[in-house]
Each structure stands twice: as structure tokens, then as C-alpha cells.
Structure 1
């Protein structure tokens, strides 16, 4: 890598670290038990906060896409730190369920969405020639954030109350986001022209910059949007129920529930690890082999994972369900990096922030479909077995849909 390559790589590295912290949005489950113990709230009430987080994360990205051309990256990242930090501190002071919803579910998640969109839009402008690699590398941080930062957060919860942990996290986010504000820049005009010269004609390179309104009028966008919903629903469904599903398999082998939950948590770690790695891997695949191969292998991983999980539930095989979890992690991570690569590769980098924000709106229906479908099958039959077979059908639908997606220019 030459000096110019090293120079621009630092922006992807900065974005990776930033999104590592943003990935804590997936770690809400760490706070559930201590908060429930304090207030006596049930799991249904506290679980709604995760759904709210997904919704307002998407809203935050949409808001950032609308204003990022009016303000500098520095201003927006400082604002991000204030929003997230203020949200955590405010959450530490609440005494009602609605207070948790408004501070953590709305304010913190909105700030995470704003910061994610801004930092990705800035960093991707340095890599018009390697959109898949750049987006995958950055999003790997987001996917692995919950796994890598859960241990220190757990230590804080053990040493302090959840309220003090929220205050500490608020301060940390302000410091990190302000630091990022001074490290992250978009390329100057002359550099941007030189970078565009690196772009090679390929199946992943867009020759036109679409606005969001132009993008949503294309057939390509809606086919891709539908594909994203199908794969994301599977990922979010399993993320929300991975531990109890793995626990069911382990208990069926004669293990006690207390013993089972420890191993089930390890299985959940496999999902997080592969979620992060899948984002980088699929970004590289997108650049090297094109969007068609990328969508196909993600769909195949999704289908294989659901099939393996269904077989594992039927025969009580813990190793098999771990492999299934890891494959779904790869599929879900690949799905997330595909969304970023599509936004820039299909529709150009000029309006990436807004276009990517619009694409992330697919997480709203997926956040309802996946967890609710998985939970309803489990409640209806008392087992997750039928749920995995149902998701296998969804995965097959995603596989078929992947062949219908075409770039607007095709």
C-alpha cells in the first residue's frame, strides 16, 4: 500500500473505531436484567426498547442524510456526541418505562443513526474505487461492537449501578465523537477528482449519481429493498432469540437450564463474530466478483443456516446449531455491507448519505417481522423448530429474489 493508500485508509480505520462504539446499540440486553430488577418491569416491556432503537436508528440516519450537505462532518460528529452522551445521562435519571423509551430508545438510538450515516458518507468518499471493501471494513466494526465492548460494559455493571454505567458511557461517547470530529474529513475537491480517476468500469461501479427521489423510482431499488427485508428479518429474529433457542437444544440433551444458558451465550457470541466478519468478507466479494455473486452467496448462507438450525432443533445437536448461527451471522453481516455497497455502487457516492439512510428503512419492517414471527411460532408450538423451517422458506424466497435484482443501467 503506497503512502496515498495509507493516507486514505486512516479514514476507514477511524470509521471502524467509531462504528465499534455505535455497535453498542445491539447490546441493550446487557442492561435488561438490572433495569427490570430495579423497576419490576417484564421482558415484553423492556424488549420494546430494542424495537424502538432500530426504528430511531433508521430515523437518525434519514435525518443525517437530509442535513449532511449543509453542515461539516466536524459539526455533525460533535452534535452526535452531544446527542448520544446526553441521551445516556438522561437515561440514568429516569424512573419510568416511558423515560427509558424516550432517552435510550429514541435519543441515544437517533444519535447513533446520525453518527453512523455521517461517518460512513465521509469515509466512503475516499474509496470510490473500492466501495465494497470500504463499507464492509467500516461495518465490521458496527457488527462486532456489541461483542468486543460487552465485557467492559459488563464489568462496569458489576462495579457500579446501571445508572452510573449509563453516565460513564455518556462521557465516553462525547469524548470519542469529538475526537472523531477532528480526525474525519471528506477529500478536498482536487483529491476527489483524482480518486474518481481510480474507478474502473465494473459491474459494481455507477456511472450516474441518483438523488433519493430518483433512486426510489427505480425498479432496482425496490427489488433490492425487498431482498434486504427478507434477510434482515432472519438476522434480527435470531439475534433477538438466539440464547433461548440454543438453550432449548441444550436442555433437550439433559443439561440443566443454568448450565445451558452459559453455553447458549457462547453460541450467541458466534453470531456476533460472524456478523462482523461477514461485513468485511462480503465487501471484498462485492468488489471482486460483483453484486450478483454477493447477493447469491448471502442468500445461500441464509438458507443453509436456517436448514441447519431446523435439523439441530429436531435432533438436539448443539454443534449443528452453532454452525447454523455462525452462517446466519455471515449472511446478516453480508446483507448489511451489501446495503452500503448498493447505495453507492448502484446509485453513486454524491448522495450516498441520504440514499443509504433510505435503504436502512428496511430495518423497520424487518425489526417487526423477524422477532415477532420467530416468537409467535415458538409460543404456538412451544419450540423454535417450526420457526426455523418457516425462515428457511423466507430464505429460499430471498435466493430467488437475488436473481431479479439488476443495476439501473443494466
Structure 2
């Protein structure tokens, strides 16, 4: 272990309550990192100012997810060669520079580079190091700890989106980007000097207990060993299918809700009577519609966070099989709700669909984290988790584009919701082929 890394270890005299400090710091940091999912708040202001179409702006989100995965891979390697503090300081620099530079956007390639690349990479770096360090304090509660922390990542959009929406209205999108950049520099920079690794003496009894209870793998696998197991690849297919639908919704949640609220798309013909019956006017002023659409996105974020916590509990209590089944079922049910809501102009039903999809996406992200620790051991968690997140790259490319192309081609998101319903059924089928790897 390097000298830099050894300096980041907590002392051997740490007692169990002290690990909650690192959990709390991780939760707050991940809550702010979750703002990467709030990209849809910036879509309409940017499209209005520059005349960009939905397909072009959805590329920003896709790029941010790709570089998010790349950032996690880099973090996993950097953490072993330097220290968590160094990785977090690099994170602060990427996020600050990316967000502040985004305020000066005048072209698509520019914001692709600033938000799509720098912000995405910064969130990936930060998420990996924060998760890796904190979970080493909780070898006995891998599912619950990862789920609770990731609840912050998913719930951050719900808690902070109203703040960002208010800032956009009061300051405009340029000043909002700049202000967020400054906040991230301060917050992540401070976190870099708080987060520490536990000592081997602290972890050893907790790890032995976890292995006795079979909540972590009996053998730690390196990244190269992990990718040679059939379990890893079958699980990756499952994750890609579910993530595809989750990222599609997250990237277009506000525009999709606006479509229904403004009476556009497939449900436009029926939206007058149906929406009135649902308690929502089909001819809402744009400002009111935007508030409701933002609230709908907030419901996705709330359930995203809650799904991570619930799934962490289920994983530890009932095992992976129950988790994977309910995630796929919620995926299918959520897409059905969204499709029928669009057909009937029913906003509450759309929100119900959003909530189910947020719940399943949060559960899926928690399953990915818990799978790495439970199936492949905690020792190489940082790099193994980063490798597993690479499933988000094809999902981020395909999912949002299906939704964007559906809207551009037919003027509605309805067709895409039916496509994703079929994807959910496929995910359910794949889940039955996932089994724990055989010990090496």
C-alpha cells in the first residue's frame, strides 16, 4: 500500500458508531452527485435559446453516462495507486470546471465536452471512490449500506431539483450552471479531507462475521477473474435491459410529462376529457405545466432513492432472486402505466408509472452494487463495481435515443413505452438464468 493510501486509514481505535460519520458524508456527496440525472431540467431552456432538437440534447445525457462509467473505471485504478483523497480532489476539479464552463455554452460540441464529458467523468470518479471507501466500513451489511447510500444518489434529484428549477427561473441557465459548479468544488473538496479507509484490524471481525453469514463471497475475485465467470455476463445483460428503460425515462421525464400536460402527442385527441377527469387541464399554462412536470420527475427521483434502500434490505434479507424478479415486474408495470396514461391523457397514471420506473431503476442500481460485493467479494470492490457500471454505456446510448426518436418521428413517446414493455419482459426472463459464481 502506498504511503498516500496509508495516510487515509482511520485509526484502529475506531468504534462501530464512528462508521456512521463516513456513511453520512457519503450520503450527502452522493445526493449532490445524483444531480447528473437532473439534465432534463436544462433541456427546454437550451432548446429554446439555441433551437436544438431533442435528439441532439439527449446526446449530452448519453455522453455524461458514458463518461460516468469511464470515470468509475479510472477511479478504481487511481484509488489503488494514489489515495481516496487524491481521487476526490480530481473529482472536485472536474465537476467545478465542467459546470462553470457549461455556463459559457454557445454550441452543441462545447456542452458535449463540458457537461457530457467533464461533469459525467467527475460524477463517476466521485461515486466510485465514495462507494468504495464507505462500503469497506460495512462488510457485514453490503446490501443495506449500498442501498442506503445510493438512496442519496437517487433521491438527490428529488430534493435538489426544485432548488435548481427555482434557480433557473431566477438566474437563468448560465448562472445556475456557474453556481452549481462553485457548490461542488466546496462540497467535494471538503469531503476529500473527511473520508478515510478503516484499518484491517477494524474490518477483520466484521468481515469474518459476514462470511459466516454468507453475505459476502467466500473468495475475493479480481476484475479479470470476475469477467471470466458466466454469472457476470448474464447479470450484465439483465442490468443493461433494465438500465436502458430507466435511463430513457430519466433523460426525458420532464419533456414526456410536458407532452401530456400540454395536450400533445398520441393522447392529444382524448386529453381534454380524460385529463379533466383526472383533475388536470389539457390546456395548462406552460409555467404551471412545467411545475407539474418537474414534480413528476421528482417522483421518479424519490422512488429511485427509495428503491435503492428497499432493494438493499430485500437483498440482505431474502436474497438476490426476489430482488431481480420484483425489479423486472415493476419495470413492465411502469411502462404499461405510462403507455395507457399517454393514450388517455391521464397525468396521475403517468406519475404512477414514473414512480414504478423510479423504484425499479433504484433497485437495479442497488442490485449492481450488492452483486459485486456479495458474488465477488469486497476486496476489489472499487474496480469490480466500476467494471459492472460499464453496462450503462450501451444502455445510455440506446435507451434515451429510443425515446427521442419516438417523439421526433410520431410526436409522442407512446411507441417507445411499448418497446420498453417488451424489454422488461425480456429482463424478467434473463433473471432466471442468474446464479452465484462457483468459488475459484
TM-score, reference length from structure 2:
0.87
Q: How far apart, in 1, do the equivalents of 2:172 and 2:403 lie?
A: 33
1:200 Cα deviation from its structure 2 partner: 4.5
Match of 1:273 in 2: 302
Which stretches in structure 1 are left out of the alignment for 5+ residues?
none
Q: How far apart, in 1, do the equivalents of 2:335 and 2:99 lie?
A: 36
Match of 1:178 in 2: 189
Q: How far apart, in 1, do the equivalents of 2:189 and 2:337 lie?
A: 45
Question: Contact (CA 8 Å) 1:204, 1:286: kept in 2 or not?
Answer: no
Match of 2:65 in 1: 54
Aligned length: 408
**Deviates further, 196-205 or 99-108:** 196-205
Aligned with residue 430 of structure 2, among 393, 401, 404? 401
Q: Establish whether residue 229 from structure 1 lines up as the match of residue 230 from structure 2.
A: no
Aligned with residue 283 of structure 1, among 312, 315, 328? 312
Q: How does 1:54-203 map to 2 (within 5 A)?
A: 54-202=65-213
Q: Establish whether residue 300 from structure 1 lines up as the match of residue 329 from structure 2.
A: yes
1:140 Cα deviation from its structure 2 partner: 0.8
Question: Contact (CA 8 Å) 1:274, 1:327: kept in 2 or not?
Answer: yes
Q: How far apart, in 2, do the equivalents of 1:287 and 1:341 lie?
A: 9
Provide, for residues 18-54 of structure 1, a one-character-per-residue CA deviation record: whole Å limited to 9, x for no partner.
Answer: 0111111112233334444544444433321111111
Aligned with residue 23 of structure 1, among 25, 34, 41? 34
Aligned with residue 372 of structure 1, among 390, 394, 401? 401
Provide, for residues 69-97 of structure 1, a one-character-per-residue CA deviation record: whole Å limited to 9, x for no partner.
Answer: 11111222122112211222333344332
Question: Contact (CA 8 Å) 2:39, 2:251: kept in 1 or not?
Answer: no
Pairwise CA RMSD: 2.1
Change (3 A) 1:107 1:260: closer
Change (3 A) 1:44 1:248: closer
1:125 Cα deviation from its structure 2 partner: 0.3
Change (3 A) 1:159 1:238: closer
Q: How far apart, in 1, do the equivalents of 2:94 and 2:84 lie?
A: 15
Change (3 A) 1:297 1:164: same
Change (3 A) 1:384 1:338: same
Question: Contact (CA 8 Å) 2:58, 2:400: kept in 1 or not?
Answer: no
1:248 Cα deviation from its structure 2 partner: 4.5
Match of 1:389 in 2: 418
**Deviates further, 215-224 or 84-93:** 84-93
1:102 Cα deviation from its structure 2 partner: 1.2
TM-score, reference length from structure 1:
0.93
Secondary structure in 2 aligned to 1:9?
A: helix
**Deviates further, 208-217 or 369-378:** 369-378
Q: How far apart, in 1, do the equivalents of 2:39 and 2:124 lie?
A: 16
Q: How far apart, in 2, do the equivalents of 1:327 and 1:184 lie?
A: 34
Q: How far apart, in 2, do the equivalents of 1:379 and 1:94 lie?
A: 24
Question: Contact (CA 8 Å) 1:15, 1:120: kept in 2 or not?
Answer: yes
Match of 2:275 in 1: none
Change (3 A) 1:168 1:275: same
1:383 Cα deviation from its structure 2 partner: 3.7
**Deviates further, 74-83 or 314-323:** 314-323
Q: How far apart, in 2, do the equivalents of 1:159 and 1:380 lie?
A: 34
**Deviates further, 149-158 or 55-64:** 149-158
Question: Contact (CA 8 Å) 1:203, 1:290: kept in 2 or not?
Answer: no
Change (3 A) 1:248 1:24: closer
Question: Contact (CA 8 Å) 2:58, 2:401: kept in 1 or not?
Answer: no
Match of 1:256 in 2: 283
Secondary structure in 2 aligned to 1:319?
A: helix
1:271 Cα deviation from its structure 2 partner: 1.1
Provide, for residues 152-211 of structure 1, a one-character-per-residue CA deviation record: whole Å limited to 9, x for no partner.
Answer: 223333343433333322221111112111211110121121221331544542111111
Secondary structure in 1 aligned to 2:55?
A: helix
Match of 1:220 in 2: 231
Q: How far apart, in 2, do the equivalents of 1:151 and 1:292 lie?
A: 36
Q: How far apart, in 2, do the equivalents of 1:318 and 1:205 lie?
A: 43
1:339 Cα deviation from its structure 2 partner: 0.6
